[in-house]
Amino acid sequence: MADVNRGNRPLSPHLSVYRPQLTSITSILTRITGNALMLAALLTVWWFLAASSSAEYFAVVDGIVTSLLGDLVMTASLWALWYHLLAGIRHLIFDNAMGLDIPTAEKLGWACIGGSVLLTLITLVII
């Protein structure tokens, strides 16, 4: 029997009910960057396959990969790689039952974001 005092509330928590928190956003971003890295890997494999196919085909693919759009995709992939690595370390810390309190979890989240941007910039300067 349904509770008549329930009001007009959803039956279960939903994205529209809760304000996004840094910890949830960074967790979702970890999943997104993991999937994006698979696409970047496919782009890299395509480039290698083109190099082993023919000079003409490689010129076409290399033109795409080294274009402005290709550079943006590769730079975003570099950031995703650093972010995903730092988020993985963060989750290893969580798996050891450390840093689970909200202030520490938020600091680790900001460390993942800031650290990934900083490491991306350092990598771009070195390259």
Name the packing angle between helices 102-126 and 68-95 (round to 10°). Answer: 140
The sign of the CA dihedral 87, 79, 26, 40 is negative
Is 64 inside a domain boundary? Answer: yes
For residue 14, pLDDT over 90 is answered with no
Average pLDDT in the 63-76 region? 94
Cα(115)–Cα(56) distance, integer angstroms: 40
Q: In CATH, what number is assigned to the domain containing residue 97? A: 1.20.1300.10
Is 12 inside a domain boundary? Answer: no
* Residue 84 is labelled as binding a ligand: yes
Is 10 inside a domain boundary? Answer: no
Is 34 inside a domain boundary? Answer: yes
Is 84 inside a domain boundary? Answer: yes
Is 15 inside a domain boundary? Answer: no
Number of domains into which the chain is organized? 1
Residues 6+ apart with CB under 8 A from 75: 120, 124
Q: Which domain holds residue 26?
A: 20-126
pLDDT digits (tens, 9 = 90+) for 106-125: 999 999 999 999 999 999 99
Is 6 inside a domain boundary? Answer: no
For residue 17, pLDDT over 80 is answered with no
At residue 18, the pLDDT reads: 75
